[in-house]
Amino acid sequence: MSLIEKTATELIALQEAGRVSAVEIVEAFLAAIRQREPQLRSFTLIDEDGARRQAEAVDAKRAVGRPVGKLAGVPVAVKDVLCTKGSRTTCSSRMLADFVPPYDAHVVEQLRAADSVVIGKTNMDEFAMGSSTENSAFQTTRNPWDITRIPGGSSGGSAACVAGCQAPVSLGTDTGGSIRQPAALCGVVGMKPTYGRVSRYGLIAFASSLDQVGPFSHDLADCARLLEVIAGHDKRDSTSIDQPVPTYTATLNDRVPGLRIGVPQEFFGAGLDAEIEAAVQAALREYQKQGATLVDVSLPHTRYALAAYYIVAPAEASSNLARFDGMHYGHRTAQKTDLISTYAKSRGEGFGNEVKRRIMIGTYVLSSGYKDAYYVKALKVRRLVKQDFDLAFATCDVVIGPTTPTAAFAVGEKADDPLAMYLSDVYTVSCNLAGIPGLSIPCGFTRTGLPIGLQLLAPPFEEEKMLRVARMYESTTDWHTRRPRI
């Protein structure tokens, strides 16, 4: 296995053994990016000089015997919705094409403190609105397993760069499945932590009550390591929870005695591809072999979750994106006339079609005469979705099902059908509405060689148990060790 195919944990071990330097690791990944980027288009920004400086600093620390951080010398790619001091942060939008933040997001600060090497910014659906990374204003990222297909979204660049061995780990954000869905479609691990577990300071907001930052990796050991680095209280984020962060890596291989797995009937029905269902059922049988008990659970309001999500999220997006008007923030039109026309033209030029669509939906559902009928009702449904999970977790430790209804679809296949695109998130949005943690891990491939994801959901702040349950499956399979031929 070449250097770029190794996990972050393996790269750290190689450095500690003196067999490779941080600079050598970074140069290997930069070479892979240069070679593969014309096909994959994972990045909006590659910081070659900055990456080399960071790697040299790690090597210098080691040379004089100074202690290094948990991710020392490990290249990390960061979704282009997270602020990085002194380097462009665009949200893959023309609206922010020239924005250079004066500060780092909290999670980027944590990465730097852990001595990781921030190697670049990854492509995404504009302002994190999409399920395919086709809504980027700059380029369409491709799936490393089949470059005619999408990598998922909105964190498609972060998933593709890990799957394509352009970085061993990356950060994404998950508002309705934007980490777990692309992780499943690209055959990597992706986690959405509990809402409040990871600070959102420096995350350019889409829907503030739903957004959460989380890791992508090849395996669960790297996922646990990265979560240890980014999780924790941050007083700059009022939604950040002041709770101790477990040492996830220390307990990862501990079995969960008396494991009860909830299997929701609502996740197995019309619209689920037969190959996806077969792979998930095979994973459940593997858990039974290891002594787990399968428990039938019901999440009856799942059928309303997608509709509720596509009211709540656009409503918050309409509010959050109001600041980008060409006057206060963002692109300003060259066709300046009166104030209102400048606002309209700036927003019209700066935002893409999907962002405009969601702003209009959000503005409508918040408008006088419609707020109670749509937005308030959606909030009531959200509460019922949360109650469903509370009741389910009273009888099981985790809920397991498919991450996506299908494998990766072709580029352009659903671009003109927003409703078909939204259905890609049918199994993921309820997790965000409920504020619970979710995880997607590889569990197989279709006959045509496309990855399949297994989704685990857990009670709030039980990421540790969720990781341990996932590791029980990962330890008996080799799906996570496979790499695409590019």
Residues 174 and 232: their CA atoms lie apart, in Å, by: 17
Of 132, 106, 114, 41, the closest CA to residue 76 belongs to 114
State how beta strands 451-457 and 438-445 pair. Answer: antiparallel
CA dist 451 → 162, 226, 310, 334 (Å): 14, 23, 27, 46
Cα-Cα-Cα-Cα dihedral of 201, 206, 211, 217, to 10°? -90
Residues 130 and 200: their CA atoms lie apart, in Å, by: 20
Phi first, then psi: what are they for 420, rounded to 5°?
-65, -40
231 SS3 class: strand
Encoded tokens for 159: 């998933």
Catalytic residue among 93, 116, 132, 178: 178
State the DSSP code for 6.
S
Phi first, then psi: what are they for 192, rounded to 5°?
-105, 110
Residue at 318: amino acid letter = S
Catalytic residue among 6, 70, 79, 414: 79
Phi first, then psi: what are they for 167, rounded to 5°?
-160, 145
136 catalytic per annotation: no
CA dist 310 → 304, 306, 315, 316, 367 (Å): 10, 6, 8, 10, 16
Rg, Å, the chain Cα set: 21
154 catalytic per annotation: yes
Cβ atoms within 10 Å, residue 394: 10
Question: With contact defined as beta carbons under 8 Å apart, do 166 and 42 qualify?
Answer: yes
The DSSP code sequence of 59-124 is: HHHHHTT----TTTT-EEEEETTB-BTTB---TTSGGGTT---SS--HHHHHHHHTT-EEEEEE--
Catalytic residue among 21, 132, 154, 170: 154
Whether the ω angle into residue 154 lies within 30 degrees of 0, i.e. cis, is yes
Question: With contact defined as beta carbons under 8 Å apart, do 198 and 212 qualify?
Answer: yes
Residues 217 and 415: their CA atoms lie apart, in Å, by: 28
79 catalytic per annotation: yes
Taking phi first (over 0 means left), then psi (-120 to 50 degrees means alpha), and beta for anything else, what does residue 152 get?
left
State the DSSP code for 459.
S
Residues 184 and 186: their CA atoms lie apart, in Å, by: 6
* Positions marked catalytic: 79, 154, 178
